[in-house]
Amino acid sequence: MRVGARRILVTPSGARKGFMAPGDMVLCDLDGQPVRGERGRPSSEVAMHVAVYRHRPDVNAVVHAHPPYAVAHTLAGISLAEPLMPEVYCELGEILTLPYTTPGTHEVPDAVAAAIGGHDVLLLERHGSLTTGPTLMRAYDRLEILEHTARISHLARTLAPGQVRTMSAAELHALSFVCG
């Protein structure tokens, strides 16, 4: 998350997230480099976070995760871009899936940079999710909503294979007057 105009706090590299203390977070500049005096190294995935902060001044927090149901949809070739439920569409907008890119290369942040302008939530094929927000809790809530949606999608498609209908253009048009 952003802390001030030119600093971000980043999860450390290789950390077991359940065993972290607040002081383990790494203070970095907007290039993802640790500031002077920091002992830890930032996550190897810091480049995609930096790409978001560069292109979205309104975003103050980025949550990256590997949520199983959402990632499974990218493996199965099932897009979540077409809305299934109204509340999800209002809160997340279009859930865009980016094609696979090689981990650890500039392909990953480049793909994120190209797509994040028009989206608050991205899925990375064979990898994970990126959710953003004006606050850390909003970005976190969007991750929870994303994975909950993917779980419901999985259940519905299991109950009625081939019969799950996404929301129609008319339904989305009507919804556009209601979404906050």
Question: What angle (nearest 5°) sits at the alpha carbon of residue 6, between those of residues 127 and 131?
Answer: 25
Q: Is 109 in the site for Zn ion (CB under 5 A)?
A: no
Residues 6 or more apart whose CB falls under 8 angstroms from that of 180 comprise 90
User: For Zn ion, which is the closer residue by CB, 83 or 131?
Assistant: 131
Active site residue 45: yes
Q: Is 128 in the site for Zn ion (CB under 5 A)?
A: yes
| Per-residue contact string for residues 54-93; x = within reach of Zn ion by CB under 5 A | ----------------------------------------
> Is 172 in contact with 89 (CB distance < 8 Å)?
yes
Question: How far is it, in rounded angstroms, from Cα 13 to Cα 18?
Answer: 14
Q: How far is the CB of 44 from Zn ion (least distance, A)?
A: 9
User: For Zn ion, which is the closer residue by CB, 44 or 176?
Assistant: 44
Q: What SS3 class is residue 21?
A: coil
Q: How far is the CB of 128 from Zn ion (least distance, A)?
A: 4
User: For Zn ion, which is the closer residue by CB, 109 or 128?
Assistant: 128
* Closest residue by Cα to residue 43 from 62, 67, 69: 62
Q: What SS3 class is residue 121?
A: strand
In order of 10, 38, 49, the CA distances from 24 in angstroms are 9, 10, 18
| Catalytic residue from among 38, 45, 91, 171 | 45
Q: How far is the CB of 43 from Zn ion (least distance, A)?
A: 8
Among 11-19, 22-30, 126-134, 163-171, which window interacts with Zn ion (CB under 5 A)?
A: 126-134
Site residues (vs Zn ion, CB under 5 A): 128
